[in-house]
Amino acid sequence: MPHIAFRVDDLEKEIAGKNILLDPYAPIDGYEVAIIEEDGAVIEFVKTDLDDETLAKMEFTDLA
């Protein structure tokens, strides 16, 4: 499902008290993701210490 994603500093803080669709998980080292639903919208939160250049070089399949 199409959704918006936000890069955050504190993943646990952002999802606290929210309707969690996907609990936090780390598909790769240095990249943690959680997905919530708020007012019918699916929202992804990403906490990462990877820089934008490194992320841009990765293919979507690298995160599967």
Residue pLDDT, tens place only, 17-51: 999 999 999 988 899 999 999 999 999 999 999 98
Look at 11-15, 23-27, 46-50, 59-63 and tell me which has the smallest mean pLDDT: 59-63
Question: What was the pLDDT predicted at 19?
Answer: 98
- E strand or H helix that includes residue 45: strand 41-48
Q: Is the pLDDT confidence value at 60 over 70?
A: no
Q: Is the pLDDT confidence value at 62 over 70?
A: no
Domain borders along the chain are 4-63
Question: What was the pLDDT predicted at 16?
Answer: 98
| Whole-angstrom distance, CA of residue 51 vs CA of residue 38 | 28
- The CATH label, of 1.20.58.1290, 3.10.180.10, 3.40.50.2300, 1.20.120.1200, for the domain at 4-63 is 3.10.180.10
